[in-house]
Structure 1
Amino acid sequence: MRFIDAATVDRLLPYETLVDVLAAAFRDGMVQPVRHHHTVERAKGAASTLLLMPAWTDFTKGSASSKGHIGIKIVTVSPDNNACGLPAVMGQYLLLDGETGAPQAIIDGQRLTARRTAAASALAARYLARADATRHLICGAGALAGELAAAHASVRPLRSVTIWNRSPDKAAALAASLRDKGMDARATEDLTGAQGEADIISCCTLSDVPLVRGHLVAPGTHVDLVGAFTPAMRESDDALMARGNVYADTLGGALKEGGDIVLAMQSGALTRDQVMGDLHGLTRGEIAGRTSSDEITVFKSVGAALEDLAAAIAVYEALDDQPIT
């Protein structure tokens, strides 16, 4: 069995490759049961959360390989970890042989998740962002923000990246890091003005109040909403959802867990008919993506287990002749 660390994930999963890998996974489909969510109570301190996200090759399809793979992501969320200098969220991905169940690899779950999440947004942008999009605004400066910049640059001719964050120092630090990688990046404290100048807006925050305002977004903008992951969280307001054609990574997940969609539908600002479809439909050609240069498109991502499995298979198969540990 191989142990694949974060650096190896980065090296073996360039976005130009990973976006195509996810496109094939959404087009062909995989089996992904409802994720398991368990609360781990403690006598002292905050409870932890255990998340289990399984997926496997659809062996019932005639086109499926005879073996395929089974995979499961194991994630723990431990709020008290900050006090002891550990990340609150930790995870690993276990990849198994689809025929025998034999373990094949344990993969760094945090890096795998970050890269597949950014790649899914870039895949959506391939269908939904204008082909001439050059200006990218990113709301948030966490670990995912830099990945979103790199992933979108792999599918659109981006010339500039603007970073906004509630902490200006963190935005400035990320912008400097992106410049070191050759990107034209800057930080801003003017979120209002930056929204009207962007061709693509990505949000990767834990906000429960709207950051992207519909009346500020210019015609033709593509909005990528990644951060909010519960029905009570949102990064956009009702006005944006009412103006835009809305898509999701998976309809089942987004209609249940995507707060931007759920809250806008509850208020009546968004109707079910305005939710055009998901990455399954886009990659299969069942629904249209962007159809005009002035429409506003919105992509809501909540994450899908097939993204993890597809990325895990890709990094496992891409391994060179490294010693097996």
Structure 2
Amino acid sequence: MNPAKLSLIDAEELARRLPMARAIAALDEALRAGLDPEADVPRSVLDVRAGQLLLMPATSSSYAGVKIAAVAPDNPARGLPRIVASYLLMDAATLCPVAMIDGSALTLLRTPAVSAVAVDHLAAADAERLVVFGAGPQAWGHVEAVRAVRPISSVGIVARRPGQAAELVERCRSTGLPAEAVPSQAVSTADVIACCTTARTPLFPAEAVADHAVVVAMGAHEPTAREVDTSLVARATVVVEARTAALREAGDILIPLRAGDVDTGVIAGNLSELVRGAVDVAPGRPKLFKGTGMAWQDLVVAAAAVDGAP
């Protein structure tokens, strides 16, 4: 390995190389070109004293890559990020390292970009009211991402900590986007609802969600945690990143499945099928996109950052 040829891409450089709109486009194009999310390698999870270590490898015809992510629940109390990660991108033919990327910044880019791909194919063209649950980095990323695909004119922030909510409201307003802290009941006014929390139980009742609304639930990747209730899963057109991942990790789907309240047929399609127009999106029903985070997403975005660098 020649260190002089290894690109080191920190958060600032990643943002310069790959703005949100281009990350969304890269993911959409990869899915249209035939990428199969069902073939993704399952992440390995190791429980450690401070939390969890996640190992997420993926390959394509051009690149191989692996993200090592650490989830440390006590970090925010120490003034540190809850999730920290590193990403190594390698040439597929030789497996020689090509770039080392700030994995936390990569996650903060690719996760909302994936959500935005789903929103772009599920939400009404004139969707303008966004309600976000959570006020952390992913919440801001989802504001930015949804705004890239829909004409969002106002944002409501639902958060447990008033200080964090106020900071996110101000960040939205600083970009010219009207925003305010709102109670959870504000979901009834939303065209798009983004759930970006560490909640383990549902954030709002299904009956509060309008028939035309799109709900994105991306805050949990554990079989015992969920952000939306059983009634919403049963009522909505449900799209997942991949059936394999959802049936392995997505508590939002697995909890009602195990209770016998729904069956696997509740999943209308995966993200690839949605992008290719192969999902029957029924009118008069809300839409639910459930994401857990997958390794192919990191690889696609990392490759786009390297290949598209000016």
Do the two structures share a fold, i.e. TM-score over 0.5? Answer: yes
Give 1 or 2 for the bigger CA radius of gyration.
1
Q: Please give the secondary structure, in 1, of the residue aligned with 2:208.
A: coil
Whole-angstrom distance in 2 between the partners of 1:98 and 1:177: 40
Query: Is 1:53 the counterpart of 2:43 in the alignment?
Result: no
Alpha carbons of structure 1 residues 103 and 277: separation in structure 2 relative to 1, 3 Å: same
Tell me what 2:46 maps to.
38
Whole-angstrom distance in 2 between the partners of 1:36 and 1:203: 24
Alignment counterpart, residue 301 of structure 1, candidates 270, 291, 295: 291
Query: Is 1:252 the counterpart of 2:244 in the alignment?
Result: yes
Deviation at 1:80, TM superposition (A): 5.9
Tell me what 1:180 maps to.
174
Q: How many residue pairs were aligned?
A: 302
Alignment counterpart, residue 131 of structure 1, candidates 98, 112, 125: 125
Deviation at 1:88, TM superposition (A): 4.2
Whole-angstrom distance in 2 between the partners of 1:151 and 1:81: 26
Whole-angstrom distance in 1 between the partners of 2:248 and 2:116: 23
| Mean CA deviation greater in 28-37 or 120-129 | 28-37
Query: Is 1:140 the counterpart of 2:134 in the alignment?
Result: yes
Deviation at 1:108, TM superposition (A): 0.6
Whole-angstrom distance in 2 between the partners of 1:99 and 1:92: 22
Q: Is the 8 A contact 1:241 1:261 kept in 2?
A: yes
Give the residue type in structure 2 aligned to 1:245. Answer: T
Whole-angstrom distance in 2 between the partners of 1:85 and 1:205: 18
**Structure 2 residues without counterparts, runs of 5 or longer:** 1-5
Q: Please give the secondary structure, in 2, of the residue aligned with 1:207.
A: coil
Q: Please give the secondary structure, in 2, of the residue aligned with 1:234.
A: coil
The one-character-per-residue Cα deviations of 1:34-62 (angstroms, maximum 9, x if unpaired) are 2122244xxxxx355322100011x4xxx
Give the residue type in structure 2 aligned to 1:103. Answer: P
Runs of 4+ in structure 1 off by over 3 angstroms are 77-88
Tell me what 2:303 maps to.
313
Tell me what 1:233 maps to.
225
Map 1:67-216 onto structure 2 (within 5 A): 68-78=62-72, 86-188=80-182, 190-192=183-185, 194-216=186-208
Tell me what 2:3 maps to.
none
Q: Is the 8 A contact 1:25 1:307 kept in 2?
A: no
Q: Please give the secondary structure, in 1, of the residue aligned with 2:194.
A: strand
Alpha carbons of structure 1 residues 80 and 205: separation in structure 2 relative to 1, 3 Å: closer
Tell me what 2:16 maps to.
11
Alignment counterpart, residue 287 of structure 1, candidates 272, 279, 304: 279
Q: Is the 8 A contact 1:19 1:123 kept in 2?
A: yes
RMSD over aligned CA atoms reads 1.8
**Structure 1 residues without counterparts, runs of 5 or longer:** 41-45, 60-67, 321-325
Give the residue type in structure 1 aligned to 2:119. Answer: A
Deviation at 1:24, TM superposition (A): 2.2
Deviation at 1:158, TM superposition (A): 1.0
Tell me what 1:271 maps to.
263
Give the residue type in structure 1 aligned to 2:240. Answer: A
Whole-angstrom distance in 1 between the partners of 2:229 and 2:51: 31
Whole-angstrom distance in 2 between the partners of 1:303 and 1:81: 21
| Mean CA deviation greater in 106-115 or 264-273 | 264-273
Deviation at 1:275, TM superposition (A): 0.8
Give the residue type in structure 1 aligned to 2:153. Answer: R
Q: Please give the secondary structure, in 2, of the residue aligned with 1:215.
A: helix
Tell me what 1:24 maps to.
29
Deviation at 1:82, TM superposition (A): 5.8
Q: Please give the secondary structure, in 2, of the residue aligned with 1:94.
A: strand
Whole-angstrom distance in 2 between the partners of 1:111 and 1:261: 28
Alpha carbons of structure 1 residues 108 and 179: separation in structure 2 relative to 1, 3 Å: same
